[in-house]
Amino acid sequence: MTYCLVVPHYNHLSSFEAFLPKLRGLNMPCVVVDDGSSAEVKTALEALLSADADIHLYQHPFNRGKGAAMWTGAHAARALGFTHMLQIDADGQHDVADVARFIELSQNHPKAIVSGAPQFDESAPKARVYGRKVTDFWVALETWSLSIKDSLCGFRIYPLAEFELIFDKYHIGKRMDFDTDVLVKSVWEGIDIKFIDTNVVYLENSVSHFHYMADNLRLIWLHTRLMLGMLVRLPIWAWRKLKASTS
Ligand SMILES: Nc1nc2c(ncn2[C@@H]2O[C@H](COP(=O)(O)OP(=O)(O)OP(=O)(O)O)[C@@H](O)[C@H]2O)c(=O)[nH]1
Ligand SMILES: [Mg+2]
């Protein structure tokens, strides 16, 4: 099993620059996908990463969304010969000290997704914290289970073969709907998901590209589709359960 960091990046230059020494300290190969940042940021990012032989920079010519960036990153990691990718956001909100624990759990469960379950402090905007609870409620209905502890975390390990299977079989949201969409469909496919509590901090002056109006509307549309998908599957799941209990 071989692991590669995959960092989706979109106009997060100053926070990413501050985060970079911590990523370098992991001594892991890394794919950075720049998702159509401004020309200025693009040039600065190229200069910032040019000296790192272990960091591979991929660029989208225009902004396509976080999910699209992760898909590009997964392809790149696969082409470079890795079996697993460790997704971590560029804005430095995640605690790299937990990477070793993520990898250890993944090594014990090679086909499982390992996801962070964020532990927020007072730096987290209340709207984001409470918004998550609403998402958790819908996700429990959409999977008819409590198997997803958090569906929005940007700190995860994906086995690449399983990740590709989900992308080949389903339409997965290419923007901020990606993190939730991919996890719910993984549960539908019977892929195991493990969670690790991890601290998430909102750094001072950090920029969020989460657009409250557009991204929340996108999430509402996602949950509408996932609920319909669950309703279609529910009789099949009930039938399987009934068969298993009578055999
Ligand atoms: N929002 C956004 N992020 C992108 C996009 N493409 C890549 N990213 C990266 O995806 C990661 C998550 O973006 P954030 O804006 O931090 O979104 P978030 O973590 O859900 O929101 P916050 O909790 O407010 O930080 C960051 O590393 C971004 O740089 C994009 O089109 N939109
Ligand atoms: Mg963020």
pLDDT digit string, tens, across residues 97-129: 999 999 999 999 999 999 999 999 888 888 888
Over 80: is that where the pLDDT of 166 sits?
yes
| Domain boundaries defined on the chain | 3-246
- Helix or strand holding residue 84 (H, E): strand 84-88
Q: Phi and psi (nearest 5°) for 64?
A: -120, -10
Over 90: is that where the pLDDT of 207 sits?
no
pLDDT digit string, tens, across residues 123-164: 888 888 888 888 999 999 999 889 999 999 999 999 999 999
Return the pLDDT at 127.
Answer: 82
In this prediction the pTM is 0.93
Model confidence at 205, pLDDT cuts 50, 70, 90, reads confident
67 lines ligand 1 (CB under 6 A): no
* Residue 57 β-bridge partners: 32
Residues with CB under 5 A from ligand 2 (ion): 89, 91, 93
Residues above pLDDT 70, as percent of the chain: 100
89 lines ligand 1 (CB under 6 A): yes
Amino acid identity, residue 36? G
Q: Mean pLDDT, to the nearest integer, of 38-44?
A: 97
90 lines ligand 1 (CB under 6 A): yes
Return the pLDDT at 209.
Answer: 80
Over 80: is that where the pLDDT of 218 sits?
yes
210 lines ligand 1 (CB under 6 A): yes
Q: What is the chain's mean pLDDT, rounded?
A: 93
Which one is the CATH code of 3-246: 3.10.20.30, 3.40.630.40, 3.90.550.10, 3.40.50.10800?
3.90.550.10
- Helix or strand holding residue 137 (H, E): helix 126-143
The residue whose CA is least distant from atom 17 of ligand 1 is 210
Cα(102) to ligand 1 centroid in Å equals 21
Residues above pLDDT 90, as percent of the chain: 77
Over 80: is that where the pLDDT of 57 sits?
yes
What DSSP letter does each residue of 6-51 carry, written as one string? EEEESS-HHHHHHHHHHHHTTT--EEEEEES--HHHHHHHHHHHTT
Mutate which of 210, 213, 222 for ligand 1 pocket (most atoms within 8 A of beta carbon): 210
92 lines ligand 1 (CB under 6 A): no
